[in-house]
Amino acid sequence: MTKLSIELSENNVGCYVKTNLKNITHEEIQEIKKLLNKHSVLFFKEQHLNPQEYIRFASNFGKPAEYPMLKPHKDFKDIYVIERKKSDKGIGFGIGAHTDSSYMNNPPRFTFLQAIQVPEEGKGNTLFYNQFLAYEALPNEIKNKIENLEGVFSSQGKIARTRVQREVEHGTNNTKEIRSKHKLVQSIDDRKAIYCSPGHIVEIANQNSDQKKLIDFLTSHQTKKDFSFSFAWKKGDIAVWSNKSMLHAATIYNGDRKMFRITVQ
């Protein structure tokens, strides 16, 4: 079996994979799936896939999912355009740590992001927070406490305000709140990760006392610098991450930026 060449990112938050996705083999796809489960986020530099090639690549990892809040790309229904212009006012889309659509019963397993247009280097980075590492660094007392707890996640959680501008332009007018419960600890290949989307969590199920304290503790622990990496985009780059074991956040910037997003179930 061929071995793909990889390079770990800062703080072991994911890794860079050196390959050409235009000519990817079935064998390499299988290897990438293993790498994704292990490292939670993979970065493929300067790939320049066209939309058909990009959708084909993403479809190897699951069925492209519908995003309930925005309309898709006009020609490619599996692609959602995340765009910000220099002249845009207000806070950008996806600011604040979260995992995608945790308010759904069946959230997308993986998210793909492709850089179509980026502002100058160092602007418009995406932050990633490795939740395997965050779980492993928890005190035993907290690990035991959260083992069987469920979080309640809402589409009206605090990140909702970052969607306002995108919804004005491309929204589906889906104003109904969507809520879902998920276990706060998820296992992937026998490794545990914290699953608690800070942008969506509103309560912990069946916990009356001190739940606010626990949410505050978890969300600040999850986003510590020790588990984080700031990815600087170049045009053509593709990142793919596991929504079960990685949090991400857009950063605040002023400039023209356009990304194509695909989520798969």
- Does residue 128 contact residue 246 with C-beta atoms inside 8 Å? yes
- Taking CB under 5 A as the binding criterion, the range among 93-101, 127-135, 157-165, 252-260 that sits at the site for Fe ion is 93-101
Nearest in space to 153 (alpha carbons), one of 230, 243, 239: 243
Nearer to Fe ion, 90 or 139 (CB): 90
| Distance from C-alpha of 168 to C-alpha of 179, rounded to nearest angstrom | 22
Smallest distance from Fe ion to CB 243, Å: 9
Q: What secondary structure letter does DSSP report for 234?
A: -
| Alpha helices per DSSP H over 12-61 | 26-39, 51-59
Torsion (CA) 233, 237, 243, 248 in degrees, nearest 10: 0
Nearer to Fe ion, 78 or 100 (CB): 100
Smallest distance from Fe ion to CB 212, Å: 24
Smallest distance from Fe ion to CB 141, Å: 31
Number of residues this chain uses to bind Fe ion (CB under 5 A): 2
Nearer to Fe ion, 6 or 36 (CB): 36
Nearer to Fe ion, 44 or 67 (CB): 67
Note whether 31 binds Fe ion by CB under 5 A. no
Give the three-state DSSP class for 241.
Answer: strand
Compute the C-alpha angle 144/145/146, nearest 5°.
95
Nearer to Fe ion, 19 or 101 (CB): 101
- Taking CB under 5 A as the binding criterion, the range among 4-12, 91-99, 128-136, 159-167 that sits at the site for Fe ion is 91-99
Nearest in space to 17 (alpha carbons), one of 46, 55, 59: 46
Encoded amino acid at 40, one letter: S
Question: How big is the chain, counted in residues?
Answer: 265
- Does residue 83 contact residue 261 with C-beta atoms inside 8 Å? no
Q: Which of 64, 72, 94, 198 binds Fe ion (CB under 5 A)?
A: 94
Smallest distance from Fe ion to CB 250, Å: 7
Q: Which of 28, 78, 100, 237 binds Fe ion (CB under 5 A)?
A: 100
| Distance from C-alpha of 71 to C-alpha of 216, rounded to nearest angstrom | 33
Nearer to Fe ion, 92 or 151 (CB): 92
Nearer to Fe ion, 100 or 150 (CB): 100
Cα–Cα separations (whole angstroms), residue 44 to 18, 73, 192: 7, 22, 25
Q: Which two tokens stand for residue 169?
A: 């332009």
Smallest distance from Fe ion to CB 2, Å: 32
Smallest distance from Fe ion to CB 83, Å: 14
What character string, x for contact with Fe ion (CB under 5 A) and - otherwise, covers 50-89?
----------------------------------------
| Distance from C-alpha of 110 to C-alpha of 33, rounded to nearest angstrom | 11
What character string, x for contact with Fe ion (CB under 5 A) and - otherwise, covers 107-146?
----------------------------------------
| Interface residues toward Fe ion, by CB under 5 A | 94, 100
